Structure 1
Amino acid sequence: MSDSTITPWVVGNWKMNPMQVNAKQLINEFKELLNKNEISQAQCHLAVAPISIALHLVKDELKQANRTVHVVAQDVSRMAGTGAYTGEVSAALLKDSAIEHVLIGHSERREFFGDQPHIIREKVKHALAEGLTVIYCVGESLEQRENGQADQVVLQQICDIASCVTAEQWHQIVIAYEPIWAIGTGKTASPEDAQSMHAKIREGLKQLTTLGSTMPILYGGSVKPENAVELAACPDINGALVGGASLNAASFYQIAQAFAHTK
């Protein structure tokens, strides 16, 4: 079971959405909701992950929010520093731009863009070296779950990065469990199934680091206001990585409220 003092995270992954004018409107609507009924930072960490060309726009808009809302990069280069790597954005460049959180290992990056374990390790290593907080995504396919391989697959994905994380760096990592079969499909793991996997992840982390009981483990995969309260009530679910519902300010706010008031 997780430490009861873990402050939950609710992170909106906007993926390849929306247009900039709509991003600005979305942030302004979310700020208005926070102004009307604040969710304190002690209750819940809040974050959004916009497309790379909107990172600064979103960051600037959020400066007027009544609390910190972190801005998260959706990916980072496997290459370090600066150099002749056309199209890449390194961890050092994110840090230089005051972006201090990054998603790594999302299933869409693994499936569509060739993020194999050795590439993911490089990304994690450089991000941690720059002091970034890594939201590391793990999850199994429907075939793997039906074949009884879900636990093995997910725990192996966590072990994949263990060799590049020092004992002191585990506090920079947030785990996000996203069953691939539930991402964008409208299907959601039952709270019981989600809790079961989170508990196994928790035990796996405890084998790797003394910080295992205090590391946040988020659930992702068609998280909506309708299921957020049930998910938030699970002892080892410490927040949510929200996809489509984060593109609606009211829905995202309701999910944040669920975790802020349940934990």
Structure 2
Amino acid sequence: MSDSTITPWVVGNWKMNPMQANSQQLIQDLKQYLKQTPITEQQCHIGVAPISIALLPIQQALLDAQSPVKVVAQDLSRMAGTGAYTGEVSGELLKDSQIDYVLIGHSERREIFGDDVEHVKAKVLNALNAGLTVIYCVGESLEQREAGQAEQVVLQQICDLATVVKADQWHNIVVAYEPIWAIGTGKTASPEDAQAMHAQIRQGLAQITAEGKNIAILYGGSVKPENAVELAACPDINGALVGGASLNAASFFEIARAFAKIKE
């Protein structure tokens, strides 16, 4: 079971959406909800992960938000520093722009864009060395779940992480469990199934690091306001990585409120 002092995280992964004008409107709408009902950092860490060309405009738009909202990069290069790497953005360049958080290992990056284990590990290493906080994504496919391999697959991904994280870097790790079969499909793991996997992840982390009980583990996979309250009530689910619902300010805010209420 997680440490009850873990502050939840709710992060909206906008993926390849939306157009700039719509992203600005989305932020203005979110800011209005947070003005009406503020959520403190002690209640919930809120973040949004826009497309790369929107990172700085969104960051600027959030400066006067009533509640702090973190800006999260959706990915970064496996190449560190600067150099002749056309199309790449390193952890150091993100840090230089005051972008302190990054998603790594999302299933869409692994499956569509060929981020294999070594690429993912290189990205985690570079991100941590640049001083970023990593939201590290794990999850199994439907075929792996039906074959009874879900826990094995997910725990192997946790072990992959352990090979590149130093003992004093675990406080810069957040884990996001996303069953691949529930991403963008409308299907959601039951709260019981999600909690069971989160408990396994927690146990795996605890075997690797003394910080295991303190690491936030988020659930992702068609999280909506309708299921957020049940998910938030699970002892080892410390927040949500939200896809489609994060493109609607009202829905995203309600999900954040569901997790923030745990800390009231």
- TM-score above 0.5, yes or no: yes
| Equivalence for 1:207 | 207
Deviation for aligned residue 1:262: 2.5
Aligned counterparts of 1:224 and 1:97: Cα–Cα separation in 2 = 31
Q: Secondary structure at the match of 1:136?
A: strand
For the Cα contact (< 8 Å) 1:229–1:262, is it kept in 2? Answer: no
TM-score (norm 2): 0.99
Q: Deviations over 1:205-232 (max 9, x none)?
A: 0011000000000000000000000000
Letter in 2 for 1:35: K
Deviation for aligned residue 1:67: 2.1
Q: Secondary structure at the match of 2:188?
A: coil
For the Cα contact (< 8 Å) 2:15–2:50, is it kept in 1? Answer: yes
- 2:40 is aligned with 1:40: yes
Aligned counterparts of 1:228 and 1:36: Cα–Cα separation in 2 = 20
Letter in 2 for 1:255: I
For the Cα contact (< 8 Å) 2:31–2:65, is it kept in 1? Answer: yes
Aligned counterparts of 1:254 and 1:229: Cα–Cα separation in 2 = 9
Aligned counterparts of 1:68 and 1:22: Cα–Cα separation in 2 = 21
Aligned counterparts of 1:145 and 1:202: Cα–Cα separation in 2 = 19
Letter in 1 for 2:137: C
Aligned counterparts of 1:166 and 1:197: Cα–Cα separation in 2 = 24
Letter in 2 for 1:151: E
Aligned counterparts of 1:107 and 1:87: Cα–Cα separation in 2 = 21
TM-score (norm 1): 0.99
Listed as ranges, the matches of 1:103-182 within 5 Å are 103-182=103-182
Aligned counterparts of 1:107 and 1:88: Cα–Cα separation in 2 = 19
Letter in 1 for 2:48: V
For the Cα contact (< 8 Å) 1:78–1:90, is it kept in 2? Answer: yes
Aligned counterparts of 1:215 and 1:157: Cα–Cα separation in 2 = 16
Letter in 2 for 1:225: P
| Equivalence for 1:83 | 83
| Equivalence for 2:23 | 23
For the Cα contact (< 8 Å) 2:14–2:247, is it kept in 1? Answer: yes
Letter in 2 for 1:219: Y
Q: Secondary structure at the match of 2:135?
A: strand
Aligned counterparts of 2:83 and 2:262: Cα–Cα separation in 1 = 46
| Equivalence for 1:94 | 94
Aligned counterparts of 1:136 and 1:21: Cα–Cα separation in 2 = 29
Letter in 1 for 2:26: L
Structure 2 unaligned spans of 5+? none
| Equivalence for 1:229 | 229
Q: Deviations over 1:161-212 (max 9, x none)?
A: 2111100001100000000000000000000000000000000000110000
Aligned counterparts of 2:254 and 2:247: Cα–Cα separation in 1 = 12
Aligned counterparts of 2:198 and 2:180: Cα–Cα separation in 1 = 15
| Equivalence for 1:63 | 63
Deviation for aligned residue 1:66: 1.1
Aligned counterparts of 1:19 and 1:99: Cα–Cα separation in 2 = 20
Letter in 2 for 1:51: I
Q: Secondary structure at the match of 1:213?
A: helix
Deviation for aligned residue 1:68: 1.3
- 2:12 is aligned with 1:12: yes
Q: Deviations over 1:116-137 (max 9, x none)?
A: 0000111000100011000000
How many residues end up aligned between the 2 structures?
263
Q: Deviations over 1:77-104 (max 9, x none)?
A: 0000000000000000000011000000
Structure 1 unaligned spans of 5+? none
